[in-house]
């Protein structure tokens, strides 16, 4: 392994078991969840033993997020070892420091630390000091306009962080929110800390646009719903049934009372009434047909055009109605 500090595998396994069993005595009601977490931790430990440090990190990082720094600080120790073994000294120191803060915080709360944690705390402090002495550090300050920062060929990171790099020349690429890039060269020595504020040059001011009225937008609104038109024509068609029946009755009486039959006065009156009713029955179709025609014309020509222009920068609107 690439870690110079003398952590024996037995010590690491013992600490890992303690990390996976985070405060069993403190939270007895959470036993089923903790059993699952310990199982997931063991999966990462197997990856770590097999030398697959990246996969171990992928398994352990979610555990640390779920437990939080107070309960999961012991897993932070294992993550620090995995990051250092994979060659990422920056994140290794971040996780080692999280372990140290968690152990100190637990002790301040009156929690009795295991002897193993106390011993490892002293060794981790020494290891962090050794990493600082062997590397140069580029402290990246946070910036509202910096979307990501790339140190050499490392994966991009956002926010404030400290990059641990080998002594020598390095390139820092700052990617701004607007897509622009600011590339800086840094020459650094072992043990040196270079602060690199991300004070990107201000964005050029946008030229003021002269005010101009927005193009007019129009929309058409019909005053009569199409359903009324179809309903009027349907009523007209239905009203034709009455004249058809009346004319059919009058025609039947006409045939019945025609020659050689000699109609009586009552039969003549009956026929005349039927014929009059047949004439009168056309009033319904005429009325409904006229209404349907008027509605159709109104539907076709009664279009209301609404003009909606924007008014200045306030976003107000004005509606002007017209019919044609």
Could you read off the pLDDT of 185-232 as tens digits, one per residue? Answer: 999 999 999 987 655 555 566 777 776 665 555 555 666 677 777 887
Q: How far is residue 215 CA from its own chain's centroid?
A: 33
Rounded Cα gap, residues 324 and 320, in angstroms? 13
Check pLDDT > 80 for residue 278.
Answer: no
pLDDT: which is higher, 100 or 37 = 100
* 146 contact partners, CB below 8 Å, separation of at least 6: 158, 174, 175, 176, 177, 198, 200
Convert the pLDDT of each residue in 35-91 to its tens digit. Answer: 888 899 999 999 999 999 999 999 999 999 999 988 889 999 999 999 999 999 999
| CA angle (146 as vertex; 141, 149 as ends), nearest 5 | 70
Judged against a pLDDT cut of 90, whether residue 314 lies above it is answered with no
Phi, psi of 137 (to 5 degrees): -125, 130
Exposed/middle/buried for 230, CB within 10 Å: 0-12, 13-18, 19+? middle
* Of 174, 296, 293, nearest in space to 226 by CA: 296
Q: What is the pLDDT of residue 33?
A: 74
- Average pLDDT over every residue of 156-160: 85
What are the tens digits of pLDDT across the range 284-301? 888 888 887 877 777 776
Among 149, 140, 233, which residue's Cα sits nearest to residue 193?
Answer: 140
Mean pLDDT for the stretch of residues 15-43:
61
Tens of pLDDT along 239-257?
Answer: 888 888 878 887 887 877 7
128 and 96 in contact (C-beta within 8 Å)?
Answer: yes
Distance between CA 178 and CA 203 in Å, rounded?
9
Distance in angstroms (rounded) separating the CA atoms of residues 23 and 30: 10
Cα–Cα distance, 196 to 234 (Å, whole number): 81
Regarding pTM above 0.85, the answer is: no
* Beta strands at 193-196 and 136-140: parallel, antiparallel or unpaired: parallel
Characterize the bridge pairing of strands 193-196 and 168-176. Answer: unpaired
Asked if residue 267 lies in contact with residue 257, where contact means CB atoms within 8 angstroms, the answer is: yes
**Does the pLDDT value for residue 261 go beyond 80?**
no
Q: Sort residue 168 into left (φ over 0), alpha (ψ -120 to 50) or beta.
A: left
Contact 123, 7 (CB under 8 A): yes
Q: Which is more confidently placed, 144 or 253?
A: 253
Asked whether 196 and 138 are in contact (CB, 8 A), the reply is yes
- Residues recorded for the chain: 324
- The single residue listed with the structure tokens 């926010």 is 159
DSSP letter (8 states) at residue 215: P
């Amino acid at each position: 392994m690439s870690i110079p500090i003398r952590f024996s595998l037995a010590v690491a396994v013992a600490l890992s078991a303690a990390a996976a069993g985070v405060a069993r005595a403190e939270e007895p009601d959470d036993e089923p969840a903790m059993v699952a977490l310990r199982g997931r931790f063991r999966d990462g430990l197997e990856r770590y033993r097999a030398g697959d440090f990246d996969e171990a990190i992928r398994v352990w990082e979610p555990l640390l997020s779920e437990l939080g720094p107070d309960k999961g600080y012991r897993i932070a120790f294992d993550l620090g070892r995995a990051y250092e073994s994979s060659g990422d000294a920056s994140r290794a120191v971040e996780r080692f420091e999280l372990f140290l803060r968690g152990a100190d915080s637990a002790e301040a709360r009156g929690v009795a630390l295991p002897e193993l944690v106390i011993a490892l705390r002293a060794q981790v402090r020494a290891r962090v000091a050794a990493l600082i002495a062997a590397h140069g550090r580029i402290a990246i300050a946070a910036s509202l306009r910096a979307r990501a920062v790339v140190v050499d060929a490392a994966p991009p990171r956002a926010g404030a962080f400290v990059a641990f790099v080998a002594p020598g020349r390095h390139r820092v690429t700052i990617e701004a929110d607007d897509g622009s890039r600011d590339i800086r060269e840094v020459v650094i020595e072992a043990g040196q800390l270079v602060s690199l504020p991300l004070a990107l040059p201000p964005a050029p001011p946008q030229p003021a646009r002269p005010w101009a009225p927005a193009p007019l937008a129009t929309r058409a609104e019909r005053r009569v719903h199409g359903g009324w038109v179809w309903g009027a024509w349907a009523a007209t068609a239905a009203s034709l049934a009455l004249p058809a029946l009346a004319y059919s009755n009058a025609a039947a009486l006409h045939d019945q009372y025609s020659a050689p039959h000699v109609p009586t006065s009552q039969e003549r009156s009956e026929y005349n009434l039927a014929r009059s009713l047949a004439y009168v029955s056309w009033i319904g179709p005429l009325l409904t047909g006229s209404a349907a025609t008027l509605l159709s014309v109104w539907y076709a020509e009664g279009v209301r055009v609404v003009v909606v222009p924007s008014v200045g920068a306030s976003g107000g609107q004005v509606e002007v109605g017209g019919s044609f």
